[in-house]
Structure 1
Amino acid sequence: MNVVEKIITLEQQESVHLDPDRLGGLCTQLGDTNAVDVLCRTIEELALRLSNCERFWRQRNWVDLRKCAKSLVAISDQVGMTALARVAGDVVNTVDTGDVVATGATLSRLIRVGERSLTAIWDQQDLSV
């Protein structure tokens, strides 16, 4: 019998990219108070859509998964979450190719990047950038 002496656990960490110019532009365009309000509503919407993407994946609902991921691209790009927008676009591409395994892997990455992006925005003490 073989005995495993050492088990290695891989921890996947994703870097997030927030575009400070985009966030600053929101503050300039809307004013600090309105920009914070928009960002708070956007965070809630992104969290909901990330959850919906995961639900659509479990249901194997490719049409709605694609639509939901596509909406994540647009919303996250508007508030400067460039990494989230890019990975959501990757999910759309894998759904389009019909590669279920790649879609699952890319969706998992989307969830990780999404959680880190939302936390990064939320944790900023000064949203006016």
Structure 2
Amino acid sequence: MNVVNKIVTLEQTESVCLDPDRLNGLCRQLGDRNALNVLCRTVEELAVRLSNCERLWRQGDRSGLRKCAKSLVAISDQVGMTALARVAGNVAQTVDAGDTVATGATLSRLLRVGERSLTAIWDQQDLSI
């Protein structure tokens, strides 16, 4: 019988990229108050769509997952969440490629990046809006 002496736990952390110019542009274009309202609604919508992506994956609805991931690309890009937009695009690409393993892995990354991005945008709110 083999005995395991040491168990290693891998921590998966993700970097997020927020484009401050995009956020500042929203403030200039809409004014601080309106930009904050748009940002709040956008963050809520992103959270819902991230949850929908996970649900669609569990249900085996690859077409729905692809559509939801593509919508995340558009929405997150509008508010400067560049890492989230990039990873959501990667999910759509893996669905298109028919690579189920890569889709599962990339979706897991999308959920991690999404969570970190939503937290980061709220932290930015205190600094610039």
- TM bucket (normalised to shorter chain) is over 0.9
Aligned to 1:101: 101
Matches within 5 A, 1:61-76: 61-76=61-76
1:31 aligns with 2:31: yes
Shift of 1:126: 2.5
CA-to-aligned-CA distance 1:3-59 (integer Å, 9 cap, x gap): 111000000000000000000000000000000110010000000000000000000
Q: Distance in 2 between matches of 1:37 and 1:74?
A: 18
Q: What runs of 5+ residues in structure 1 fail to find an aligned partner?
A: none
Work out the number of aligned pairs and report it: 128
Q: Distance in 2 between matches of 1:2 and 1:24?
A: 58
Shift of 1:127: 3.7
Residue identity in the other structure for 1:126: L
Residue identity in the other structure for 1:36: L
Residue identity in the other structure for 2:27: C
Residue identity in the other structure for 2:41: R
- Are 1:76 and 1:85, in contact at CA under 8 Å, matched by a contact in 2? yes
TM-score normalised according to structure 2 size: 0.97
Aligned to 1:2: 2
Q: Distance in 1 between matches of 2:105 and 2:7?
A: 22
Q: Distance in 2 between matches of 1:17 and 1:11?
A: 20
Shift of 1:84: 0.2
Q: Distance in 2 between matches of 1:106 and 1:127?
A: 31
- Are 1:36 and 1:127, in contact at CA under 8 Å, matched by a contact in 2? no
Q: CA RMSD in A?
A: 0.6
Q: Distance in 1 between matches of 2:103 and 2:80?
A: 24
Aligned to 2:59: 59
Aligned to 2:127: 126
Identity across the alignment (%):
79
Q: Tell me the secondary structure at the aligned position of residue 126 of structure 1.
A: helix
Q: Distance in 2 between matches of 1:98 and 1:105?
A: 13
